[in-house]
Amino acid sequence: MSSPTPATPARADGRAPDQIRPLRFQNHIAPYATGSTLVEWGHTRVICGVTVEESVPRWMKEQKVEGGWLTAEYSMLPYSTLTRKPRDISKGKLDGRSSEIQRLIGRSMRAAVDLNKLGARTICVDCDVLQADGGTRTAAITGAFVALSLAMQKLIAAGKLKENPITHGVAAVSVGIVGGAALLDLCYTEDVAAAVDMNLVMNADGEFIEVQGTGEEATFTEAQLAALLALGKVGIKQLLAAQKQALG
């Protein structure tokens, strides 16, 4: 007689293991930005704004690199967490986590853009977390793509771009193993309890841009890794569809 399969632990918000939290985009939230959106993903809220500078970094000029550049900044506002998070400026430097995340956002957005088609300009992507309940980096990336797309539409309409430089849709989602079960899109309570925590960034062609996976004082098998990747792909498809609807 075979042993019974262990039951999947109930999730804090009652979701199925392969279900993402409710997702909504409120576009044009920052009227002075070239493109912007407020992404509301469960109880996580991030404002993503894109501005354009009609110049490129000095290193591009010195090295005679053609095309444009895209860079990103990320911050968590002091009131975004249960206990106040001091601003980085109060410490005199950017904290390591913020630095890592903004570099991830920049890499993810550059993977979506043909920089040669931008012309000699710099795209600045700013992601500010208003409320954090897990998945702030994945929300920032997913929202940043919507804001970036809106900005490119505006540049085309203004005659500053002849064609859209965006080559692929890009989205990001978290997956993890909590209580022995693989779960999609972890909220904060699941994230802190996860034995394995992973973030996936993928494009609309089903290709990976970045995979960040860590055993939190635990290890994971190849089979568990495969299960997490498969679960992440399910989430990415849902996110890409939501982005397309928001831009429709």
Considering only residues 244 and 96, tell me which one the structure prediction assigns the higher pLDDT: 244
Strands (E), 193-233: 196-203, 208-215
Across the range 139-144, mean pLDDT stands at 98
DSSP-derived pairing of the beta strands 122-131 and 44-53: antiparallel
Judge whether 93 lies within some domain. Answer: yes
Identify the domain containing residue 53 by its residue range: 23-247
Residue 6 in domain: no
pTM of the model: 0.93
Q: Count other C-beta atoms under 10 Å from residue 154's C-beta.
A: 16
Q: What is the mean pLDDT of residues 83-99?
A: 81
**Residue 181: C-alpha distances to residues 47, 64, 77, 122, 136 (Å):** 32, 51, 32, 43, 22
CATH code of residue 28: 3.30.230.70
DSSP SS3 for 120: coil
Retrieve residue 126's tokens: 């700013």
Residue 141 lies in a domain: yes
Domain count, the chain: 1
- Given a cut of 90, whether residue 175 has pLDDT beyond it is yes
Q: Is the pLDDT of residue 59 over 50?
A: yes
- Selection from 220, 173, 227, 224 nearest residue 200 by Cα: 173
Task: List, for residues 184-235, the tens digit of each pLDDT value.
Answer: 999 999 999 999 999 999 999 999 999 999 998 789 999 999 999 999 999 9
- Within a domain: 9: no
Contacts of 149 (CB under 8 A, 6+ apart): 35, 166, 243, 247
**Within the chain, how many helices (H) and strands (E) appear?**
6, 9
Give the residue from 110, 97, 123, 215 showing the smallest Cα distance to 170.
Answer: 110
Query: E strand or H helix at 33, and its extent?
Result: none
Average pLDDT over residues 6-16: 75
Is 176 part of any domain?
yes
Q: Which pLDDT does position 216 carry in this prediction?
A: 83
Structure tokens belonging to residue 173:
């989602």
Q: What tokens appear for 153 in the block?
A: 């539409």
Q: Which residue has the tokens 């209580």?
A: 179
Edge to edge, the sheet with strand 35-41 lists: 23-27, 35-41, 44-53, 122-131, 69-76
For the cut 70, the answer to whether the pLDDT of residue 38 exceeds it is yes
pLDDT of 9 strictly over 80: no
DSSP code string of 59-108: HHHHTT--S-EEEEEEEE-TTSSSS----HHHHTS--HHHHHHHHHHHHH
Interacting residues of 225 by C-beta distance below 8 A, sequence separation 6+: 213
Give pLDDT, residue 2: 46
Q: Is residue 15 part of a domain?
A: no
The pLDDT assigned to 96 comes to: 86
| 41 within some domain | yes
Is residue 84 assigned to a domain?
yes
Pure H helices in 84-181: 88-91, 96-110, 136-157
- pLDDT band at residue 8 under the 50/70/90 scheme: low
Q: Which amino acid is at 226?
A: A
What's the pLDDT band for 95 if we cut at 50, 70, 90? Answer: confident
Mean pLDDT value across residues 170-176: 97
